[in-house]
Amino acid sequence: MHSEDERPRASSKRSIASDLAGKQQEISVTEFFEKNKHILGFDSRAKALLIGIKEAVDNSLDACEEAGVLPDIMVSVQRSDEDEEFHIIIEDNGPGIVHGMMPNVFGRLLFGSRFHAQCQSRGQQGIGISATVMYGNITTGKPARLMSKIEEEDTAWLMDITVDTKRNRPNVTNDQPFIWPDKEHGTRIEYYIRGRYVKGKQSIFEYLKNTAIVNPHAEIGYTDPDGRSYTFARATTKMPPKPKEVKPHIQGLEIGDMMRLARDTKQKTVKSFLKNDFSRISERVANEILERSEIGERTKPSSLGREEARRLIAAVAKVKIMAPPTDCLSPIGEDLIKKGLKHVLEGQRPEYYAPPVTRAPRVANGNPFVVEAGIVYGGELPRDGQVSILRFANRVPLLYQQGACAITKAVESIDWRNYGLEQRGGRGIPYGPAIITVHIASTKVPFTSEGKEAVANLEEIQKEVGLALRLCARSLKSHLNKKERKKKTRAKFDVVQQILPEIASKSAAMLRRPVPSLDATITKIMNVVWIEPSSVMENGGLREVCYNIYNYTTSPKSFMLHSTLPRSCLNETVLDSRLVEVKEDGKTTWEIKDLAPSARTELRFQLDGELSDVFEETDIFVSGLNPAMIMGADPLPGDWGIKGMEISESDSYPEEEEDDEEQEEVLNDDY
């Protein structure tokens, strides 16, 4: 029995528990994000202004690409009469939005079509643009105005929207049709938002400029609050490949993911579950996984427990499975990465664009991803600070949380001193006149937060970024070495050409004899085959490329010149009499035969088309000569496979291997 003193205490405890139970209630997802705006990236006035524009532009680009339309996007930022309030307008030429769907798309969080799709897209969660409308409602009390027209209808629709944060539902007013002159299809959103306009690396201008780099098929117009207008012109009319939906890849799954997928599958057996619910699982691979996991092929997927799921995952790690299909991804591609960089950075005239690298697809947490990287060096890029790191995920610039991003971690882990850049202590972001560009394309980019500002530091992703950057860095190192060697040889050549003629002239005058020809003497001293590339861009995209070739040796020389030309830009001028072959991938070979000592010859051709400026005339290779006597070109890489030619080990560079461990061994040679 309880004493009288204990009874009130127990009663009090029950009362508190009852009170707490009575206070429990479901929280609307919109109400949660309203009170935790920083999770969506709205954690400062400056970021809020940028994030809202970013979400709208992302949606516009996705919509245009899904419809197969070259994007034309207009962004306008105007100051309002109220302090720190801005009027934002974003308009596109996309397919438009059906009238009945407009309220949900712009006024309801977690409402979208891409969350469950296993293919690459910018927006996925169904949060971005509706969160922007919500934040604008909260900070200004003003509704967002939407205008949209689809091609099938003569009239467009206009409506004003606010977000009901208690119910996660849109409130629509002023819903009416109207005639939108000269607009076949597209969407326009106008909203007011409290924010702070800034300039510099994290500005709206920088975001749009970087967006143009990785979306060279888009044309983006921008008007800033001071009324200045900018246009990031379209660099190519080539649309990116439209990604297709695929099944998830089994590698990288966690135990809980495997149990959930097994529970939700419609397949009757584990074997059919493996074959039909995952990509790249054939009959043979499924049998090997089941044999290693000691699970019967007739087992029902719904009966798989934690232990069975663990054994399946362990077996998958021991089985060789094909890499995921690439048609679910839309990487930028090496040519268009360089095209975008050249188009936007032309004012800074960089001296060298390292050939961009696109890695083979890999898997992280069951989601395929591809890493692309490039390095730009020299010219008028700043020389006294850290290199700029341009981070992108699914063609979207990442401007915030650089230090927390897997891309930055990968950059910091490389000893850039081996590649010609200054780096204090061999770790951290290097210094020098360079820009490092990294793009990650994935069906589900693992961001650190819903604000999509940094990529989570997964081991698989950081490793792939590091491998891609090292390959680019090796090209940069080769360029710098070639530049330094050429500089020293040029200085030697200038000295020889200045001193010897003076000695010959004075000696001839003293002996009262004619001045002798010094060509043979200069040739003997230099002992190099000098290749001097140059190019001129004509109007209309026509590019004149010329290689002046000098034989500063004492014997006739025969050798091959090789370069990779953009296949779409070739014309009859490439068909020089010395042309040996042009392969499907653009690899082109010319033969220079019996070039006499002290003689000069010229190789000249034209490139015509929008990718003509992608070609780097300094990327010229030579075979058939001792690399020590080549100046202005590199030895031919071993993967060219020129028939009938022997390429010594000293003539070739190790190329990327299929296996990661072999690849790392090759890259470790740089150390």
Measured between alpha carbons, how far is 215 from 207 in angstroms, rounded to an integer? 12
Q: What is the pLDDT of residues 442-491, one digit of tens each?
A: 888 888 877 678 899 888 899 999 999 999 999 899 888 888 887 887 77
Q: How confident is the model at residue 297 (pLDDT cuts 50, 70, 90)?
A: confident
Q: What is the pLDDT of residue 449?
A: 76
- pLDDT over 60 (residue 134): yes
Residue 116: closest CA among 361, 324, 362, 367: 367
Q: What is the pLDDT of residue 528?
A: 86
Using left for φ > 0, alpha for ψ between -120 and 50, and beta otherwise, residue 17 falls in alpha
Measured between alpha carbons, how far is 132 from 115 in angstroms, rounded to an integer? 18
Burial class (CB in 10 A: 0-12, 13-18, 19+), 8: exposed
Mean pLDDT across 114-133: 60
Q: What is the pLDDT of residue 126?
A: 41
Q: What percent of the chain has pLDDT over 70?
A: 85
Q: What is the pLDDT of residue 654?
A: 33
Q: How confident is the model at residue 223 (pLDDT cuts 50, 70, 90)?
A: very high
- Torsion 96-101-107-108 (CA) sign: negative
- pLDDT over 50 (residue 610): yes
Measured between alpha carbons, how far is 640 from 229 in angstroms, rounded to an integer? 47
- pLDDT over 90 (residue 254): no
Residue 291: closest CA among 274, 277, 306: 274
- pLDDT over 80 (residue 234): yes
Number of H helices, E strands in the chain: 15, 24
Element (H, E) at 135: helix 128-140
Contact 640, 571 (CB under 8 A): no
Domain range 255-318, its CATH number among 3.10.110.10, 3.40.1190.20, 2.40.10.330, 1.10.8.50: 1.10.8.50
Q: What is the mean pLDDT of the chain?
A: 81
Residue 203: closest CA among 184, 187, 222: 222
Residue 155: strand, helix, or coil: coil
Cα 279 from chain centroid (whole Å): 25
Radius of gyration over every alpha carbon of the chain, rounded to an integer in angstroms: 31
Task: Tell me the residue ranges of DSSP E strands in 166-315.
Answer: 169-178, 186-194, 219-223, 229-232
Q: What is the pLDDT of residue 671?
A: 37
H-assigned helices in 512-528: 519-526
Contact 69, 95 (CB under 8 A): yes
Q: How is residue 553 annotated by DSSP?
A: S
Give me the amino acid identity at 302: S
Measured between alpha carbons, how far is 165 from 606 in angstroms, rounded to an integer? 61
Q: What is the pLDDT of residue 323?
A: 75
Q: What is the pLDDT of residues 376-431, one digit of tens each?
A: 998 888 888 899 999 998 888 888 888 889 999 999 999 999 998 998 877 889 99
Measured between alpha carbons, how far is 372 from 340 in angstroms, rounded to an integer? 13
Measured between alpha carbons, how far is 454 from 595 in angstroms, rounded to an integer? 56
- pLDDT over 70 (residue 588): yes
Domain range 29-232, its CATH number among 3.30.565.10, 3.30.465.10, 1.10.287.130, 3.90.950.20: 3.30.565.10
55 to 180, 249, 474, 480, 572: CA distances (angstroms): 24, 29, 36, 40, 47
Q: What is the pLDDT of residue 342?
A: 81
Q: What is the pLDDT of residues 334-347, one digit of tens each?
A: 888 888 888 778 77
Tell me which of 16-25, 50-59, 110-119, 555-564 is least confident.
110-119
Report the relative pairing of strands 219-223 and 72-79 from DSSP bridges.
parallel
Residue 546: strand, helix, or coil: strand
- Which pair of tokens denotes residue 574? 């490439």
Q: How confident is the model at residue 31 (pLDDT cuts 50, 70, 90)?
A: low
CATH fold group of domain 334-478 = Ribosomal Protein S5; domain 2 (3.30.230)
- pLDDT over 70 (residue 54): yes
Q: How confident is the model at residue 3 (pLDDT cuts 50, 70, 90)?
A: low
Q: What is the pLDDT of residues 612-624, one digit of tens each?
A: 888 888 888 999 9
- Torsion 92-96-99-100 (CA) sign: negative
Tell me which of 207-211, 306-310, 321-325, 564-568 is least confident.
321-325
Q: How confident is the model at residue 594 (pLDDT cuts 50, 70, 90)?
A: very high
Q: What is the pLDDT of residue 664?
A: 45
3-state DSSP percent of the chain in helix, strand and coil, to 5: 40, 25, 40
Q: What is the pLDDT of residue 5?
A: 54
Q: What is the pLDDT of residues 496-546, one digit of tens each?
A: 777 877 888 888 788 888 877 777 777 777 788 989 888 887 766 688 899
Name which residue leads in pLDDT, 459 or 611.
Answer: 459
Q: What is the pLDDT of residue 586?
A: 85
- pLDDT over 80 (residue 117): no
Report the relative pairing of strands 388-393 and 434-442 from DSSP bridges.
parallel
Question: Span 517-668: which CATH code?
Answer: 2.60.40.290
Q: What is the pLDDT of residue 394?
A: 87
Q: How confident is the model at residue 645 (pLDDT cuts 50, 70, 90)?
A: very low
Q: How is residue 502 annotated by DSSP?
A: H
Q: What is the pLDDT of residue 94?
A: 92
Q: CA neighbours within 13 Å on the CB side: how many for 218?
A: 29
Cβ-based neighbour number of residue 233 at 10 Å? 12
- pLDDT over 80 (residue 28): no
- Which pair of tokens denotes residue 610? 């929008």
Name which residue leads in pLDDT, 603 or 665.
Answer: 603
Task: Tell me the residue ranges of DSSP E strands in 138-259.
Answer: 144-149, 156-164, 169-178, 186-194, 219-223, 229-232
pTM recorded for the entire structure: 0.75
Contact 641, 610 (CB under 8 A): no
Q: What is the pLDDT of residue 371?
A: 93
- Residue bearing tokens 């690396």: 201
Domain extents for the chain?
A: 29-232, 255-318, 334-478, 517-668
Q: What is the pLDDT of residues 353-391, one digit of tens each?
A: 888 999 988 888 767 889 999 999 988 888 888 999 999
Name which residue leads in pLDDT, 561 or 523.
Answer: 561
Of 33-37, 165-169, 220-224, which has the strongest mean pLDDT? 220-224
Mean pLDDT across 96-120: 69
